[in-house]
Amino acid sequence: MKAQDERGKDVLDIDVRGPRFSAALTFAVLSAAYLLKSPGLLAFQVVVFGVAAFAGLRWSPYGNVFRFLKRNLTFIGPPPATEPESGPRFSQLMGFLFSAAGLALLTNGAETVGWSLVLVVVGLSALLAFTGICVGCEMYALGQRLRGKAA
Amino acid sequence: MAEALPLLLVVAAAALFSVWWKRRDGRIRDVEDRFTAEEVAAVGAPAGTAVLLEFTAPNCAPCRATKQVLEDVSALWPEVALVTIDVADALSVVKAHHVLRAPTTFVLAPDGAVRGRISGVPDPGELADLLDGDGGPRPPRGRKLSADLHVETPSRARPRWARRSRAA
């Protein structure tokens, strides 16, 4: 689905439940990676974040799992609302940066710091899964304030 | 087992924050605050009237849902002005009133006093109750309109507003 944002740019509109579903999967995968101390599982999640952030949510692996389930499980129903992909895509990018940094650190010996970064992502994905918080909206107000301060 | 402790702490912290967040989200808070005449003008609101003022962000689904609620509610009170403004377009006001999120809505009395502040999508019934309250603007023709609104939106789950798809 295509829609236009407030500035007239074409953006992909997504089901608001998609990011919550993805966050729940992310939470499960990263928790398992932490408990098993598995860099392989963490690397898998880094790739998932990277695809969603750089190729767009149309290609998001977890997003496509959600779409597959929607097509096959009728009780999930139509989207209660849709939102532009920009905000969720930005949070995928943040997830990518944190988890990739964590992976780089722990494969280079800094295990504690590396896994701590992973735990940060675990906490944020749990938050998103629990609340469905609109990350883009939250970041925007804070970002504008910071930018205003710098100017 | 000790290995799992940091993970459990992180999950517990996220769960606690989520509970706090959900209790606060969309609720009208009674705050001691006042907009100066300059600030009312800066956000483009008319002077000397009650105002529903929403701070928005671009590409923000809850902001659109909030605007819909405010439009529906303010339609019942023609004397209440509705103003939506991007956070970036009123930074000084945003900072002065410690707006950290979008959407944040202020219910302003004609003299600029803040009668209520809402983070997140407001509950239409609660908002109507506030507008209907003592000293506030009166509903047209003396009808108790908030009661009508409650019939339309029986729960706080706001299904009617959330279900409206904007994909088309």
**B57, A16: Cβ pair inside 8 Å?**
no
Give residues 34 to 93 of A whose Cβ lies within 8 Å of B: 34-35, 37, 78-84, 86-87
Pair B29, B117: CB distance under 8 Å: yes
B58 preceded by a cis bond (ω within 30 of 0): no
Per-residue pLDDT, averaged over A28-39, amounts to: 95
Number of other CB atoms surrounding residue A107 within 10 Å: 13
Coil, strand or helix at B138: coil
Per-residue pLDDT, averaged over A109-127, amounts to: 93
Dist CA A86 CA B2 (whole Å): 39
Which residues of chain B neighbour A124 with C-beta distances below 8 Å? 14
Interface test with A, best of B11, B60, B101, B166 (most A CBs within 10 A): B60
ipTM of the complex: 0.79
Comparing B123 with A53, the larger pLDDT belongs to A53
> Which candidate from A16, A119, A126 shows the least CB-CB separation from B61?
A16
Give the Å distances, CA to CA, from A73 to A28, A65, A68.
21, 12, 9
> Which candidate from A83, A122, A140 shows the least CB-CB separation from B61?
A83
Give the per-residue pLDDT at B48. Answer: 85
Pick from B99, B108, B151, B111: nearest CA to B130: B108
> Which candidate from A7, A35, A131 shows the least CB-CB separation from B18?
A131
Give the per-residue pLDDT at B154. Answer: 37
Give the Å distances, CA to CA, from A140 to A34, A86, A110, B86.
31, 11, 33, 10
Per-residue pLDDT, averaged over B63-77, amounts to: 86
**Over the stretch B7-58, which tens digit does the pLDDT of each residue have?**
999 999 999 999 998 888 888 888 899 999 999 999 998 888 889 999 998 8
Search chain A and give the residue with CA nearest B164: A81
Query: How far apart are the CA of B140 and the nearest CA of chain A, in angstroms?
Result: 32
Per-residue pLDDT, averaged over B83-100, amounts to: 91
Query: Residue A26 above 80 pLDDT?
Result: yes
**Over the stretch B101-154, which tens digit does the pLDDT of each residue have?**
889 999 998 888 998 999 998 888 888 888 876 444 444 433 344 444 443 333
Dist CA A106 CA A48 (whole Å): 19
Instruction: Say whether pTM exceeds 0.80.
Output: no
Per-residue pLDDT, averaged over A146-150, amounts to: 71
Residue B161: CA count within 13 A, CB half-sphere: 27
Pick from A146, A150, A145, A136: nearest CA to A92: A136
Give the per-residue pLDDT at B114. Answer: 92
Query: Residue A4 above 70 pLDDT?
Result: no
